[in-house]
Amino acid sequence: MQLKSLMAGVSLVTGTLVALSGTMAQAAPVRYAAETSLTGTAPSAAAGAIYVSPTGTDGAAGTQSAPTTLTSAIGRVAAGGTIYLRGGTYRYASTVTVPQTSNGTSAARTTLSAYPGETPVLDFSAQSESPSNRGLQLFGSYWHVYGISVQHAGDNGIYVGGSNSVIERTVTAYNRDTGLQLGRIASTTPSSQWPAGNLILSAESHDNADSDGEDADGFAAKLTTGAGNVFRYAVSHNNIDDGWDLYTKKDTGPIGPVTIEDSLSYDNGTLSDGTVNSNGDRNGYKLGGDDIAVNHVVRRSIAFHNGKHGFTYNSNPGSMAVSNNLSIDNAQRNYSWDAGTSVFRSNTSCRFSVSGSNDKTIGNADSTNQFWKGTNGSRCASYAGALRWSFASDGRLVVTLGGRQVTL
């Protein structure tokens, strides 16, 4: 499994403890090193699967002994079929697209999966930074994408325009816009066809950065997304802008409510190499925009040491359900709601090494919450120390603080 660590109060930098003090902008850079690689259990071997490898050819049969290319396999796979990517690095200069006409079914999703025990990496380093240079575009619906990494794309690493798909155990890193984003397929796509019902599961997104420093988030379901999209057991860290971005604007109107649950957002606004861009918003979870009301659900999730707010309504005046979350040592507010009718229950806010500001939670907040108003509440005693996280073999996100497992 993948294991990463961050100290509340100190950072672990290749074995050296470095003190942190003041705001995020004043803190020493925090670096991470994977102690072991993540290996999960891929979907079971499927009869009639199409096999792909970095050395495959378009005309090959697509068998284990004669693998084909990814683009060829996408064109051949039947609804409900399986494509296996063998391990290794696949180098592309152009976007790889699953077209809108390629769909699985509700009973049998089409699968694009890492071969069991191997790690395929789609590398788009040959692309220049441009909105037209995405990595993998998933425009089809009812797909299951499992166990692949997408890196160095000129725009989004993975862009989901279809509906009812599962994106699981993916890693999107070093892309030049948001690592994994949901949005409409084209400017002419009606709102009734915006991506809906997708599940982002046990995914990691990190070190995504655009040259302007204000667009590249870890995950985004913004501007043009339908209802029922869910992020579960997802981890976003060290992106130049926000960990999550659910931005809306008046030109396109409200998006469908999004659920974020059992997830982690930390150290966004600062890349792993210490790079900071003042243009970035640098929030853990940014939940709105342009005073448009959308009733998102955010529960059992953690914001840790982000460069601005931990959780912020970002001018979303809706009635969001915000419950059982934990926010620690974010540079400004751990929770920031200046308007709206959101309902807050059993949330916890703690400060150990970053002074920040008092939380502000306009809405319905009762005594089950322990917000920061100058002192830590009683629950904070359980949340001091090093932040560590990993994915369990079944994909659940496991987070510990000071060696104690966090249960929210």
Catalytic residues: 286
Among residues 329, 266, 381, which one has the least CA distance to residue 8?
Answer: 329
How far apart are the C-alpha atoms of 52 and 73, rounded to whole Å? Answer: 7
Cβ-based neighbours of 170, under 8 Å, separated by 6 or more: 145, 146, 147, 148, 149, 150, 158, 180, 203, 204
Q: How far apart are CA 209 and CA 152, in angstroms?
A: 10
Closest CA to 209 of 172, 246, 167: 172
Neighbours of 188 (CB within 10 A): 7
AA identity, residue 55: T
Tell me the pairing of strands 16-19 and 10-13: antiparallel
- What is the rounded distance in angstroms from the CA atom of residue 325 to the CA atom of residue 261? 9
Residue among 41, 115, 106, 32 at smallest CA distance from 73: 115
Strands (DSSP E) contained in 282-334 are 285-286, 297-299, 302-304, 311-312, 321-323, 326-328
Q: Which residues does 338 contact at the CB level (< 8 Å), separation at least 6?
A: 313, 315, 360, 362
CA atoms of 29 and 146, how far apart (whole Å) = 32
320, HSE (Cβ side, Cα atoms, 13 Å): 33
- The residue with tokens 């959308």 is 294
Cα–Cα–Cα angle for 163, 168, 173, rounded to 5 degrees: 105
**DSSP code for 68:** B
Concatenating the DSSP letter of every residue in 245-282 gives E---BTTTBPPPPEEEES-EEESTTB-TT--B-TTS--
How many residues are recorded in the chain?
408
Q: State phi, psi for 70 to the nearest 5 degrees.
A: -65, -45
